[in-house]
Amino acid sequence: MTGPRPAAVTASGWGWRHAGRRRWAVRNLDLSVPPGQRVLLLGASGAGKSTLMRGMAGVLGDQEDGEQTGSLLVDGRPPAQVRGRAGLVLQDPDAQVVLARVGDDVAFGCENLGVPRDEIWRRVDASLDAVGLQVARSHPSSQLSGGQKQRLALAGVLAMRPGLLLLDEPTANLDPEGAVEVRDAVLAAAGEATLVVVEHRVELWAAFMDRVIVLGEDGLIADGAPTEVFGRLAEELGAAGVWVPGAAAWRSPRPHATREAAPLLAAEGLAVGRRAAGSRMPRIVASGISLTVAEGRALAVTGPNGAGKSTLAMTLAGLLEPAAGRLRATGPLSAGLGPEPARWRSRQLLTRIGMVFQEPEHQLLTGRVRDELAVGPRALGLDDAAIAERVDPLLERLRLGRLAAVNPFTLSGGEKRRLTVAAALATRPRVLVLDEPTYGQDARTWRELADLIDEVRYAGTAVVFVTHDRELVDALADDCLPIGGMRVPEASR
Amino acid sequence: MHTATSASAVASSRASRYRWRVVDIVVASVIGVAAGVVFWLWGQAWTPLSTALVFLPGLDGLLAGGWLFAGVLGGLVIRKPGAALYTEIVAAVVSMAVGTQWGPETFIWGVIEGVGAELGFAILLYRNWRLPAALVSGAVAGLSTAILDTNFSSIAAQSFEYRTIYFVAAIVSGILLAGLVSWLIVRALAATGALDRFGAGREARSREADDPDAA
Amino acid sequence: MSLPIADPAARISSFNPVAKLAATMVMTLTLLLSIDPVSAGVMLAFVLAALPFTGLGARMLWLRTWPLLIAAVLGAAATVLYGRPSGDSYLQWGLVQVTDGSLQLALAILLRVLAIALPAVVLLSTTDPTDLADGLSQLVRLPARFVLGALAGLRLVGLLIEDWRELSRARRARGVADRGRLRRFAGQSFALFVLAIRRGTKLATAMEARGFGASGARTWARPSVLRPRDAVLVLIAAAAATASATVALAAGAWTFVWAL
């Protein structure tokens, strides 16, 4: 496959303000990227990295969407006029799949650019090959893992033969294996095209990039070779949430409970699965699980994607029925109810097992942050004074105080996550289950969440967290249960 | 690319007022799809509900509005000519495909109800996109359903009294369930920030005392 | 999960989707014009006779069609009670009037619901949405931006149904799933809309980044072709429609809906 001509990007005094906002998303940007260079773009959240990427791809929109000052040119022309020269890969694997079959999805870009039919399918096969996606053209695009979907998006972009490859946090929502797959696919397939990558997990890319630029409130605040920029600005970057390579790992500062802690939930030979719509039997994803959830101890459930971690988490939280085996709550937890959490009523779950979902937006119920925290206490029948007594300290502790009247959907990713954790804690459950708490988070929010979970554990709550984040496991877990395949060992340290 | 001169700005703004952006098409489709899923769920509930109403003749017209809100909602969000029609058609196709019991009737009804909703906005010359437009659009959509159902569907086989009650109930349902509820939904959606790329969302943001960007 | 196709291997699935759509429309529009047991009965007989040729399995068919039976029975029941009265009256109570006429109409309604919906279900559930979109854009020449935009949005159905179940479980976890079903349905529907619009907005950006919506000619990777068998299908459908109308007219049973 002959490579496309690499593109050059030049920005002079470029700024963009989204319609209806007062603040400029990007301002005073002067930048020149020569053809073929590989650039890593960093900056604090809200610094405008995504806006810049979309600007270079030409998808920011016209006057209806915002206003522009200065100029941003790709190959000397406005990006919107040279669609197809720039290819953009976004963060969310599900949001980029356009068509239902893999081959069709990759062909989509070529169709839009008016490529002749035979050439389209040649490019499709070549692109799928280049990203290492070994599936048939008619494979359903929804039945791919996250890493595969990102590679599919990459293939779709590569089929357009772009000279400029833009990747906006391509591995943020993936597990470590998927992240490495995508990184390798990009490096193998990019060829000589100009490459601009936005990424928190810098060590994955730093060795392969020529240049690092850091975007700030008013233009660039750093621009140079990777080692130089990381050396000089390690602290600022760390504070901005970038995972600076070589920074010290966070460890839990609080003492850990002993093994004799009181058990609250016990599973024996448990098998978990979900029922597909319309079928009677659940499809078992993991079986033979035996574990104990004990007061003041943190249990980490690990394993590759699709191994059944989320299903296990929901089963432990009483939201799914066990497919086989037993899950029993001990006396102190069930406190007068039957031993099976799946049989408890919704209100009874509140003070016993709290669950924080992987996607915070699934759990947002109200129009204001304060009301969101009050949902649980209100369902318990507490009066206003008692509710305030629970909600106010949580608002303060989680730094959500000044957001108390804001609509929860408008919060940033990290704030939404803190909110859903706080909402689960408002009813003081004795067990807290968290599904991928650090998914897609930058370094700063990661530290906050890890600290919060540790504090909750230290206060006596039993914590179960499902994750593929090795650092979180190393930092927090007392016990670890790996899941993958059908037979699993007993939980152990 | 500098900011355009005033003359061409006016011309292009008028053109862009009617031309659909990609995000308009996709979000209208998405609203239609989500509405179609809700229609399907509503259809599941319709069977027991209408069984209950079997003894209250004609009042199942009140449920008719549940199928009309897609068009009104689409029009209020996208704010471009054709939005109401398009969204209602997509919703009808989805609820038909996901498996309701009415088959292609659903599609034909969807087209005509969509035309009704569209007419409502057209009557106001596509200038008003707030509560009055929502209510008018819902009313006209309800009217179109009323005419269709009492003449072409199984309802046509019912007695005159039944059909009259149904007719009025359908229009009322259109105004309330399709018009008022859609307007409330759009306001609530705008508050979540999901509509930031649309006029409805941006108006809501500028109405807020707190500037979210000051954070 | 995209919209589940009934059976990609069945013979009926390989027909051009536009032809199938045309066939469905022809049959439906004809039947819609009249409420009488003869036209509906003839069409239904035709359809049932043709079913074995479609290559669809019995179980698949049952799964798709049992809601139709329920709807047909319900519609017929309501008609028995409130149908337009004529002839002898058997029961009268308030607005309820069971008469000769209403019984006849009930039979007609029963057959009509089945006759209209059954072919549609069979033909359309064996159609791949992408192929239909290709057909509509290439053959019927509908604007590609809208057809493909709708198709992309349609693909989200599977995701939205998954989202709905997550939303239900989240409400159980938050303690509010015990009562207030109607309120919960409303709240959950709203949350579904928010999620749907967010996904759609991101999808629109991704599509634009792949050149969608830009000016310039578009090519098609999958050609949609009409073959002789497609013409045959449409002709058969037209024949069925004409036959049912003719028989009903000949039997004197045909009654235009507005002339009831």
pLDDT (tens digit per residue) in B63-75: 777 788 899 999 9
Q: Name the residue in chain A with its Cα closest to that of C178.
A: A346
pLDDT tens track for C187-220: 888 999 999 999 999 999 999 999 998 877 899 9
CB pairs under 8 A between A and C: 162
CB of C218 less than 8 A from some CB of B: no
Q: Is the pTM of this model over 0.90?
A: no
pLDDT at site B131: 92
CB pairs under 8 A between B and C: 199
Kindly list the partner chains of chain A, i.e. chains with 3 or more CB atom pairs below 8 Å. B, C
* A493, pLDDT greater than 60: no
CB pair distance less than 8 Å for B159 and C105: no
Q: List pLDDT tens digits, range C82-92.
A: 777 777 888 78
Dump pLDDT digits (tens) for B78-104.
999 999 999 999 888 887 766 555 566
Q: Contact B193/A71, CB-based, under 8 Å?
A: no
Report the pLDDT value the prediction gives residue A245, as an integer from 0 to 100. Answer: 75
Taking the CA atoms of chain C, what radius of gyration do you get in angstroms? 23
List b or e across A132-154, with b for residues whose CB sees 16 or more CB atoms inside 10 angstroms.
Answer: bbebeeebebbebbbbbbbbbbb
Q: Does residue B119 sit at the C interface (CB-CB below 8 Å)?
A: no
Task: Output C255-258 pairs: Cβ under 8 A, ≥24 positions apart.
Answer: C255/C34, C255/C35, C255/C36, C256/C33, C256/C34, C257/B151, C257/B152, C257/B156, C257/C32, C257/C33, C257/C34, C257/C35, C258/B151, C258/B156
Interface contact flag, A96 C203, Cβ < 8 Å: yes
Q: What is the pLDDT of residue A66?
A: 86
Q: Compute the nearest-CA separation of A451 from chain B (Å).
A: 23
Q: How confident is the model at residue A277 (pLDDT cuts 50, 70, 90)?
A: low
A471 Cα to chain B: minimum distance (Å): 30
**What burial letters (b/e) apply to B71-92, b meaning 16+ CB within 10 Å?**
bbbbbbbbbbbbbbbbbbbbbb
Average pLDDT over residues C74-89: 77
B198 vs B43 pLDDT, higher one = B198
Model confidence pLDDT, tens digit, residues A442-475:
788 888 888 889 999 998 899 999 988 888 888 8
Q: Which of residues 194-213 of B touch C (CB under 8 A)?
A: 194-195, 197
- CB proximity under 8 Å: A 359-418 to C: 359, 361-365, 375-376, 379-380, 409
Which residue does chain B place closest to C20, by CA atoms?
B104
Interhelix angle B22-53/C181-209, nearest 10 degrees: 160
* pLDDT tens for each residue of C135-194: 999 999 999 999 999 899 888 877 888 888 899 999 999 988 877 777 888 888 899 999
Q: Which of C161, C206, C218 sits opposite A96 (nearest CB)?
A: C206
B16–C contact, CB cutoff 8 A: no
Q: Which of A256, A425, A260, A431 is nearest to A332 (CA)?
A: A431
User: What angle in degrees, to the nearest 10, is found between the helix axes of C100-125 and C37-54?
Assistant: 30
Of A359-368, A460-469, B147-156, where does mean pLDDT reach its minimum? B147-156
Give every strand in the sheet of A194-198, ordered side by side. A86-89, A164-168, A194-198, A38-43, A211-216, A219-224
Q: What is the pLDDT of residues A21-73, one digit of tens each?
A: 788 889 999 999 999 999 999 887 777 898 999 999 999 887 778 889 999 99
Could you say which of A78, A403, A406 has the minimum Cβ distance to residue B1?
A78
How many whole angstroms separate alpha carbon A444 and alpha carbon A413? 12
Task: Compute the distance between CA of residue A466 and CA of residue A480 in angstroms, rounded to an integer.
Answer: 10
CA-based nearest residue in chain A for residue B192: A409
Q: Is it the case that residue B55 has pLDDT exceeding 80?
A: no
Residues in contact with C223: Cβ distance below 8 Å, sequence separation at least 6, in sequence order: A117, C134, C138
Is the pLDDT at B26 greater than 60? The verdict is yes
Please give the average per-residue pLDDT across B105-112, as a whole number: 82
- In this predicted structure, what is the pLDDT of residue A125? 94
Tokens of C135: 């057909």
Q: Which of A10, A50, A62, A64 should we substitute to test contact with B (largest number of B Cβ atoms within 10 Å)?
A: A64
Residues from chain B contacting residue A367 (CB–CB below 8 Å): 188, 191-192
User: Out of C128, C166, C214, whose CB is closest to A357?
Assistant: C166
Contact flag A406-B212 (C-beta cutoff 8 Å): yes
> What local confidence, expressed as pLDDT, does residue A216 receive?
82
Instruction: Read off the pLDDT of residues A204-237 as tens digits, 9 standing for 90 and up.
Output: 898 899 999 988 888 888 888 988 888 888 887 7
pLDDT at A150 over 60: yes
pLDDT band of residue C110 (cuts 50, 70, 90) is confident
- Interchain CB contact of B178 with C (< 8 Å): no
In this complex, the residue of A95, A115, A355 whose CB is nearest that of residue C219 is A115
H or E element at residue B104: helix B104-123
Q: What is the pLDDT of residue A1?
A: 42
> Which chains, if any, share at least 3 CB pairs under 8 A with chain C?
A, B
Q: Which chain C residues touch B27 with a CB distance below 8 Å?
A: 197, 200-201, 204
How many angstroms separate the Cα of A404 from the Cα of each of A395, A396, B28, C119, C221? 8, 10, 32, 55, 52
The partner residues of A32 in beta bridges, in order of sequence, read A10
Per-residue pLDDT, A488? 38
**pLDDT at residue number B36:** 84
Query: With a CB-CB cutoff of 8 Å, which residues 39-78 of chain C face chain B?
Result: 64, 67-68, 70-72, 74-75, 77-78
Q: Is the pLDDT of residue A288 over 50?
A: yes
Q: Could you tell me if A311 lies within 8 Å of chain C, comparing CB atoms?
A: no
Q: Could B34 and C196 be called an inter-chain contact, meaning their C-beta atoms sit closer than 8 Å? A: yes
Report whether pLDDT(C63) > 50: yes
Q: Which of C201, C205, C208, C210 to mutate to test the interface with B (most CBs of B within 10 A)?
A: C201
Indicate yes or no: CB of B189 within 8 angstroms of CB of C197: yes
Q: Output the CA angle B149-B150-B155, nearest 5 degrees.
A: 80
State the pLDDT confidence band at B39, using cuts at 50, 70 and 90. Answer: confident
What digits encode the pLDDT tens for the residues A93-138?
888 999 999 999 999 999 999 999 999 999 999 999 999 889 999 9
- The residue-averaged pLDDT of B114-133 equals 91
Question: Which among B22, B41, B194 has the least Cβ separation from residue C198?
Answer: B194
pLDDT of residue A487: 37
Interface check for B197 against chain A (CB to CB < 8 A): the answer is yes
Nearest to C220 among A117, A363, A365 (CB): A117
Instruction: Compare A397 and C60 and report the one with higher pLDDT.
Output: A397
Quote the CA–CA distance of C145 and A112 in Å, as a whole number: 10
Using the beta-carbon criterion (under 8 Å), do C205 and A142 form an inter-chain contact? Answer: no
Confidence of residue C127 (pLDDT cuts 50, 70, 90): confident
Which of C193, C195, C255 has the highest number of chain B CBs within 10 A, making it the mutation to test binding with B? C193
Determine contact, residues B75/B83, Cβ cutoff 8 Å. Answer: yes
Q: Does C225 touch chain B (CB under 8 A)?
A: no
426-455 of A, contacting C, C-beta below 8 A: 427
Smallest Cα distance from A65 to chain B, Å: 6
Range in A332-341, B95-104, B178-187, C51-60 the model is least confident about: B95-104
pLDDT score of A486 = 39
DSSP letters, A127-167, are HHHHTT----TTSBTTSS-HHHHHHHHHHHHHTT--SEEEE
Using an 8 Å CB-CB cutoff, list chain A residues near C221: 104, 107, 110-111, 117, 120-121, 124
pLDDT digits 0-9 by tens, C3-21: 456 666 677 778 888 998 8
Q: What is the mean pLDDT of residues B199-207?
A: 77
CB contact under 8 A, C154 and B94: yes
Chain C CB within 8 Å of residue A136 CB: no
> Could you tell me if C102 lies within 8 Å of chain B, comparing CB atoms?
yes
* pLDDT(A158) > 90: yes
Interface mutation vs chain B, best among A372, A407, A412, most B CBs within 10 Å? A407
CB contact under 8 A, A98 and C218: no
The whole-number pLDDT of residue C8 equals 66
More confident residue, A446 or A165: A165
What pLDDT was estimated at residue C260? 57
Mean pLDDT of chain A: 87
Closest partner CB to C116 (pick from B23, B103, B197): B103
Cβ-contact A27, A13 below 8 angstroms: no
Q: Taking CA atoms, what residue in A is nearest to C164?
A: A362
Q: Decide if pLDDT at B3 tops 50.
A: no
Average pLDDT over residues A426-453: 88
Contact: B213, A407; criterion CB under 8 Å: no
pLDDT at B210: 42
Q: Closest Cα partner for B208 from B194, B188, B187, B191?
A: B191
Reported confidence tier of residue B206, pLDDT bands at 50, 70, 90? low
